[in-house]
Amino acid sequence: MDETAIAFELPHARASATHVGPPLDRISVRDYTRDVEIGAFRSERGVTQRIRFNVVLEVSHHAAAEDDDVDKVISYDTITEAIEAELAAERVNLLETLAERIAARCLADPRGVRVFVRIEKLDRIPGTLGVEIARSRLEDGASRIRQVVPPSTVAAADPVIVHLPPEAAFGADAPAWRDALAALGRPVIVVLAPRDPQKPALSEAERRIGLLSIEQSVWAFAGADPRFDVAATRTELDWAAKHGRLTVWAPSHMTTAALKHAAPGPDDPAGLAAWLGAELGAATVIIVGGALARPEDLAGALP
């Protein structure tokens, strides 16, 4: 297939036709349409028009499919959040500028290899008009990538990690604790203890049973209040933090998969909260109990 034949194909067809070497995996977002104020003409200022995005991100190989592990793949949110971040950053005149910036954000993740971005205006003419670019983090394309917002300067969501003992999570004041967590106005990740204290695990089987006991508490807590979601993976936790959600952590997946830094056992839920805070880079980990034993004291524990 020559360049002329693929000129008006969607980006996934061009990606397939132009790749050299072993095939790469791809994730894509198609026909993502937003109302945007964009354009250099006077008639385009102060009004919005429909803009359609088609993006294909080629990624390096991974073993996610072997163990069904969501934390090993690049999320589709990488693409949609790149689009939304650049739309929110500032008004631009050119589709070319917007496409370059979206491409740079998509390739900020080191697992991204090549990205195709097509952006079209749907309201300017009876048909569509637009721009399509291909950018690569490989050596032959690196000079064309303009890192408008370097990854190190992008503000990351900073969740508050809160460990609740059983008497707070399920006692008479449990509704007040849930309200206090929601009133913090921050993304919150709740770490719970099992309802029955656990002895130190002497085997892997005992450790897994203890973790399942914690997760029984997790589902009971979330089931009592629709404001709280359950999250088990790093991807889910990152997404929840970015979107300001209230989350209860189910620890089995992350603690079992941990290789570099072994997690504490289910007999040490406060230690699990500290471990999770370190894994996520959270600045605030609050352990409820002792001097902090009342829901009304929770807000004062924030830095």
Instruction: Give catalytic residue positions.
Output: 121
- Hey, how many other C-beta atoms are within 10 angstroms of the C-beta on 245? 19
**Angle (CA) 64 213 170, round 5°:** 120
* 117, 11 contact by CB (below 8 A): yes
* 224, 248 contact by CB (below 8 A): no
- The residue whose two tokens read 């749907």 is 122
**Which amino acid appears at position 203 of this protein?**
S
Q: Which helix (H) or strand (E) holds 215?
A: helix 204-223
CA-CA distance, 181 to 177, in Å (whole number)? Answer: 6
Instruction: Tokens for 120, please give them.
Output: 């079209």
Question: Which residues have a Cβ under 8 Å from the Cβ of 37 and sit 6 or more positions away?
Answer: 44, 45, 46, 47, 48, 49, 91
CA-CA distance, 143 to 182, in Å (whole number)? Answer: 46
- Strand order through the sheet with 188-192: 228-231, 246-249, 188-192, 160-164, 284-287
